[in-house]
Amino acid sequence: MDLVALPAFADNYIWMLHDGAQAVVVDPGDAAPVLAALDRLQLRLAAILVTHHHPDHVGGLAALRERLEGPVHGPAREVIAPPFEPRRGGERIEVLGHRFEVLDVPGHTAGHIAYVQCDAEQAPLLFCGDTLFCAGCGRLFEGTPAQMLASLDRLAALPPDTRICSAHEYTMSNLRFAAAVEPANEAIAAHAGRCRALREAGQPTLPSTIALEHRINPFLRCREPAVVAAALAQGADGADPVAVLAALREWKNRFQ
Ligand code: ZN
Ligand code: FE
């Protein structure tokens, strides 16, 4: 299956997976780029996956329904426009003949879910919405630092070659923050160089991989001594990973 990142709004990606005849899209905040891709590639829309209720992830649903030939799967614990198939962690769904596992990943929103294609003949695919970004994580709008830590730990335990399909192109600003947290981490500087070239060429920096995020993402590195020390210097309540994540997240919110 082919994976395509459809840019939307200022920095969203609507991920499309297709087999040359049928497509599934994830978090269509806007219908226009999806309809254009369906027409350009001559694909039918077989399913839609939604990770959370924010408008930049569901805004295109209404306009896509007349082209949609299958279900909308969405978070059971959030309100999105019906009809949709309510999904929760632990469920397995079949999309385009492939199995996807649903994971509960609360934190950015209270009922945020993610989808992992778990029977891939290629490297696994993770559609994680606004939970995990390259070198960053989502803001805590509805959840707690403890919930976000548990969700990120969950994703960090996926196979190292898992391809991470996040919903935003935040990589360069996230890497600037990651370098402020860990100035001596050479993997962060090296990846910033690669991503700068990709952005200059108009290319997405995603998907990332779980293996890479373990090396560069401060929010997956809350137990690393250098990250703990940086968080304590920013006023973290303690050295435990929840306090470290909370301090990193607040630091990132005010980081320019
Ligand atoms: Zn969001
Ligand atoms: Fe978003």
Ligand 2 centre from 11 Cα, in Å?
9
One of 54, 73, 112, 191 is an active-site residue; which one?
54
pLDDT value of position 120 = 65
Q: What is the mean pLDDT of residues 101-115?
A: 98
Closest listed ligand to the CA of 131: 1
Q: Are 206 and 13 in contact (CB under 8 A)?
A: yes
Closest listed ligand to the CA of 141: 1
Average pLDDT, the chain: 97
Structural domain including 111 reads 2-254
pLDDT value of position 214 = 98
- The reply to whether 56 belongs to the active site is yes
pLDDT value of position 256 = 85
- The reply to whether 27 belongs to the active site is no
With cut-offs at 50, 70 and 90, classify the pLDDT of residue 164.
very high
- The reply to whether 53 belongs to the active site is no
Q: What percent of the chain clears pLDDT 70, i.e. is strictly above it?
A: 100
- Per-residue pLDDT of 166-200, as tens digits, reads 999 999 999 999 999 999 999 999 999 999 999 99
- The reply to whether 11 belongs to the active site is no
Ligand 1 centre from 245 Cα, in Å?
19
**pLDDT of residue 220 exceeding 80:** yes
- Alpha helix positions (H), the chain: 31-41, 55-58, 61-64, 145-156, 171-181, 186-200, 210-216, 225-233, 241-254
Q: What is the pTM of this model?
A: 0.98
> What's the CATH number where 250 sits?
3.60.15.10
Q: Is 59 exposed, middle or buried (0-12, 13-18, 19+ CB in 10 A)?
A: middle
- The reply to whether 130 belongs to the active site is yes
- The reply to whether 168 belongs to the active site is yes
Ligand 1 centre from 117 Cα, in Å?
21
Ligand 2 centre from 121 Cα, in Å?
29
- Per-residue pLDDT of 15-30, as tens digits, reads 999 999 999 999 999 9
One of 56, 73, 104, 191 is an active-site residue; which one?
56
Number of domains in the chain: 1
Q: How far apart are alpha carbons 233 and 230 in whole angstroms? A: 5
